[in-house]
Amino acid sequence: MGRSFEVRKASMAKTQGAKIKVYSKYGKEIYVCAKNGGSDPESNLSLRRLMEKAKKDQVLGMSLTRHLIKLMALVVRTMK
C-alpha cells in the first residue's frame, strides 16, 4: 500500500483510541447516574448535566442514547 497509508492508519488508530476512552468513561458515568436517579434526563438532573458535559466533549448523541437504551432494558429486566 505504501508509507502514506501506514501513517494515516497509525494516526486514525491513535484518534480512535482516544475517542474510545472518552466514550467508555461517559458510558460508565451515565450508568451510575441513571442507576441512582432514573434513566429520564428530564427528571434526573445529574444525568442531564452529565449528558450536556458529554456533548461539550463531542461525544456522539448516538452513543449516549445507546447507553440509555441499555439502561432502560436493564431496569425492565430487574423489575420482572
What string of H, E and C letters represents the secondary structure of 6-68? HHHHHHHHHHHHHHHHHHHHHHHHHHHHHHHHCCCCCCCHHHHHHHHHHHHCCCCHHHHHHHH
pLDDT of residue 8: 92
Q: How many domains in the chain? A: 1
Q: Give the pLDDT of the chain (80 residues) as one tens digit per residue.
A: 678 989 999 999 999 888 889 888 888 888 888 888 877 788 889 988 988 888 888 887 777 778 777 777 776 676 66
- Model-level pTM? 0.68
pLDDT of residue 12: 93
pLDDT of residue 79: 62
Domain extent for 7: 3-79
pLDDT of residue 75: 67
- All 3 cell numbers of residue 13? 488508530
Residue 13 CA, chain-centre distance (Å), reads 19
- All 3 cell numbers of residue 39? 434513566
